[in-house]
Amino acid sequence: DQQVKQNSPSLSVQEGRISILNCDYTNSMFDYFLWYKKYPAEGPTFLISISSIKDKNEDGRFTVFLNKSAKHLSLHIVPSQPGDSAVYFCAACEGYGNKLVFGAGTILRVKS
């Protein structure tokens, strides 16, 4: 039973354009959501997070949107850069600091 789903295995975007990565969840008890970026042979790197009391959080080129009624969140990267090419994982937890439940990941390729 996948509680966190990333339905797009891969995404290809032109440099300078917007990248939109999507994530759906089923557990209504999740109250904290995070996005991680992972390069091959490295551990995941924290990108941005959002609490369930908010619907948007922005950090530089990265913005995360949360739609609680739809149990959906998305990560927007604007403008996309070739260095953004990596695997992006969506994760969620019940309560701050609790174990994370991860999606399967989306491979983002930014073409120059």
Q: For binding to other proteins (CB under 8 A), which residues are involved?
A: 32, 34, 36, 41-46, 49, 89, 91, 96-105
CB of 46 to other proteins, least distance (A): 6
Which residue shows structure tokens 């149990």? Answer: 71
Classify residue 98 by its DSSP letter.
S
CB of 1 to other proteins, least distance (A): 13
Closer to other proteins by CB, 25 or 32: give it.
32
Closer to other proteins by CB, 15 or 49: give it.
49
Closer to other proteins by CB, 62 or 102: give it.
102
Alpha-carbon torsion, ordered 51, 49, 28, 30, to 10 deg: -90
Q: Using the Cα atoms of residue 28, residue 30, residue 33 and residue 35 in order, give the sign of their dihedral.
A: negative
CB of 12 to other proteins, least distance (A): 20
Which residues, other chains included, contact 83 with Cβ-Cβ below 8 Å and sequence gap of 6+?
Answer: 110
Closer to other proteins by CB, 42 or 69: give it.
42
H/E stretch holding 47 reads strand 45-51
CB of 98 to other proteins, least distance (A): 8
